[in-house]
Each structure stands twice: as structure tokens, then as C-alpha cells.
Amino acid sequence: MSTAEPRPEAADDRPHLLYFAIGFPPAAKSCVFRMRETANQFVSLGWRVTVVTIEDEGWLGDCGIDETLMESVDPRIDILKLPLSRDDLETDLRRFSRERAVDPQLWHTTMREQASAVFPDPVFGGWRYDLEETALRVHRENPVTLSLASCVPYVQLAAIRRLYEECGVPYAVDFRDGWSVDVVDDVEAFPRDTEAGKWEQRVIADAVSFWCVNDPIAEHYRNRYPEHRDRVHVVRNGYDADSVDLPVRQRPADAPLVFGHLGTISFSVRLLEKVLEAWKAARLRDPLVASARLEVRGHIGVGANRGANKHMELLRQAADDGVVVDGPVPKAQVSEVYGGWDALVLVILGGRHMTSGKVYEYMSTGLPIVSMHEREHDASYLLDGHPLWTGAHGLDVEKLTESFCRAAHLAVSATDRQRSAARAHGKAYERGSLMRPAVRALTELVTGAASGTKEKVES
């Protein structure tokens, strides 16, 4: 697997995918699993794949890295890592410019304005020209059949657009959560007549296919661009089978229960306060919860304040209530961690437009699930009918307290049949089975060649 220049190969007649996937392994980001599966699926269908991302060092001050993620990346994939990074995440004062040291706020404002002047993305806009030149260079060296951008960052759209305009290379877009829709507040993120709106219109107008992660986001785009609605497809995230291959264990009848939350905590402080308040109340109300502990695994925050923030303060203060913070989990150890828990806690921002990839994994473990998210949420749609789910109750602390108590009793009373039904509820969302038909359809669309048995693509 290359991490430098794409390797030249003589007489290679395979179709060539140039995949802009900033967040590809080993970045410890939630998007990494979708990106990895996408690239692997293209390779499995006979494509030559070149992935463009950034150097590992660029992730150290952001989300961190997990080298175990590379274990399931197809070794035939070329990975081109660019020396790009976010200056705003630098915390070493010795590396600050004079301007930043003198007036950090002015420096930060100026940096965002300069980035936005290049591309309508105040954080990553300055990467535009490096990405565009990379696209053109890769195409010169090994002609590209299709380019694909997985956003965010949205500046990757500039690269596939440049390749299309100058070289006629078709492109597809995996918007995942969408650009012009605010999935947290369920509102329009920007109007069509803004710079971002104009970019989005141009990109969608010429894309051969456009993916997003759920039906509400798809409907947003079909309504916003009705003339292109047939190109909008739902490709859900799903779970990785090896993450829910739980070890068999016999829980001693008198053993304290263990609730678990797995994933980066980037939701609001208020949401965390409500969760901890309900957890404390449940411990006072129910003996099963009173002896239980709540393990929190994952990064606490992102960027420069990761692990040193209000969230961490609250979690540490809750130690007397049985709350334990035990750091991130390497991908290779996820199933082992789930295997040590008796019930799961799902905390998600947003509403009907928001889907957390973690919900698919949770559903497939066969464990009881306590939800802390809005009732009108895509996670509610997915979890509806799960036999060990305690329901969604918004920020209602009393209802959440009851959910903790109910989950505790489900953890000790659920039958093998109920647990099997819970696992079956999530089985349809295995990541490969969701991504495979989408990649197959895109392959046939671009190359005109059928690639085996046809499978349904959600639309």
C-alpha cells in the first residue's frame, strides 16, 4: 500500500477511481469506516483506487489516529497523503506566528476570512489549490475514470470539479450529512444565492450520482434540486460485522451491571448534564442501577481541547456516581469492549436529519439501549421495533431515569430469543451490504459494464 506517489503501472486497463477521502484510516474519525468500506468495495469490483487524504501528523492534534484501522484496508489501494494540516489546532506557543501571539482572536478571524475567500469553507478553504493540483497530477500520471469526494471537508469538491472542467472526468459526491442542511437544528444551512449555495448548485448539476446517509437529507436535496432528484441516493452507514462479534460470557447473577457509552463526546454540555442527572437519579431509585457503573469510552471532545474541557470536568465529578472514563478504544478491540457491557447508552445531537453511525453498531449487539436524543430523530426510526430499546424521550430527565432502570432490568431478564431478535433487528444494516449495491450501480453507470448480480440501491 503506497503512502506517497501513486505507483505507475504499465498496461493497466482497470477503471481508475480518484477518491478524495480526507478522514481515511488511520484517522480516528467517525467517517473513517464509511470511507474504508467505499474504497474496499471499489477495489473488489475491479477498480484501481487512489485515495487522497492528509498525513497522519495532521490528525494528531485533531481526532488522533488508530493504526488498527489499517488492518482491514485493502492493500491494493494507493493512499496519497498530502502535507496539509489545520494551523488553528496548533497548541505549541513556540510555533505561533507573531500575529497570532499578539492577538489570537484577530489572527483566527483573519485566517477564516482568508480561507473563505479561496473556497466557502472557513476552516479548510485554504486547501483548495493543493487538492486541485493533486487531482490534475494524478490524472496526468494515471488517467482517472471517475472521481469521488466524501465530504466533509467540502473543499474537496473543488478538486473533483476542476478535474471535470479541465479534463472531462465524471464525478460523484458522497455528501453524507449534506451541506446546505443543518442536521443539528433541522434548518437550511445557507441559501442558494450564497457563495456556498452557488458551489453546491454547480457540483450537483454535473454529478453523475449523489449520496447521503438518510431519507430526510435525501428529501432535502430532492426538494431543493427537483431537476436532479433522480441522482440523489440514500446510502446508509451501517456497522462492521467484526465490531459486534461479541465474546460469549456468562454473567454471574450477583455481578454489578455495566452500562457503556462508546464514541467521541462532541455533543453539548447541557446534554451531558441531563444524562448524568438521570443516571444519578436512577441509582437512587433502583438497586440494580445503584450498584452499576457507567463506562465512558472514546475521545472527550476534539481538537486542541480534547480531554481538557467542561465535559471531562463533569464526568470526573460524577465518579462517585459510578461513572468511569477509560479513553478511546482501538477498532480491533471494539467487540471485546461491547462484550464486557450489559447495556448501552446512546447520546446523539440533532433531529430527523441526523444519523449517528454508532446506532447501527448498537442495534446489532443484542444489548439493551438507552437513548438520549429527540423523539423525532432518524435514530428513532432505525430503533423502532428493537425489542431491547427503551425509547426516545428528548431531554426529559424523568423519562430517561426510567429508561436507565428499565434497561437494567432488561439486562438481567432478557431471554435468548429477545437478544437474538435484537441482533436480527440490526442485521440488515451491515456496512458492506449497504455500500456494495451503491458502488456496483455507480460502476455500471460510469463504465457501462455490468458487474455481477444486481442489488437494490435505496433511492
Q: Residues 332-378: pLDDT tens digits? A: 899 999 999 999 999 998 888 997 889 999 999 999 999 999 888 99
Question: Are 35 and 29 a contacting pair, CB within 8 Å?
Answer: no
| Interatomic CA distance for residues 213 and 78, integer angstroms | 26
Buried b (16+ CB within 10 A) or exposed e, 160-178: bbbbbeeeebbbbbbbbbb
| Tens digit of each residue's pLDDT (9 = 90 or more) over 112-170 | 999 999 999 999 999 999 999 999 999 999 999 999 999 999 999 999 999 999 999 99
Name the nearest CA neighbour of 26 among 57, 82, 67: 67
Domain ranges of the chain: 16-237+431-447, 241-427
Q: Is the peptide bond before 122 cis (omega within 30 degrees of 0)?
A: no
What pTM, to 2 d.p., does this model score? 0.91
16-237+431-447 carries CATH number 3.30.1490.20: no
- Other CB atoms within 10 Å distance of the CB of residue 454: 11
Which pLDDT belongs to residue 11?
A: 57
Calpha distance 422→81 (Å, rounded): 40
Mean pLDDT of all residues belonging to the chain: 92
Buried b (16+ CB within 10 A) or exposed e, 122-157: bbbbbbbebbbebbbebbeebebbbbbbbbbbbbbb
- Secondary structure (3-state) at 189: coil
What topology is assigned to 241-427 in CATH?
Rossmann fold (3.40.50)
Contact 377, 384 (CB under 8 A): no
Q: From the centroid of its chain, how far is CA 358?
A: 8
Give the start-end residues of each E strand in 185-338: 187-188, 209-212, 232-234, 258-262, 293-297, 323-325
Q: Is the pLDDT of residue 184 over 70?
A: yes
**Helix extents (H) in 174-304:** 195-206, 215-224, 269-285, 287-290
**What pLDDT was estimated at residue 329?**
93
Of residues 442, 255, 221, the one with CA closest to residue 353:
221
pLDDT digits 0-9 by tens, 219-260: 999 999 999 999 999 999 999 988 888 776 677 778 999 999
Query: What single-letter DSSP state applies at residue 242?
Result: G
Of the pLDDT bands very low, low, confident and very high (cuts 50, 70, 90), residue 304 is: low
Convert the pLDDT of each residue in 26-84 to its tens digit: 999 989 999 999 999 999 999 999 999 999 999 988 888 999 999 999 999 999 999 99
Output the nine-digit C-alpha cell for 401.
431515569
The whole-number average pLDDT for the span 85-100 is 91
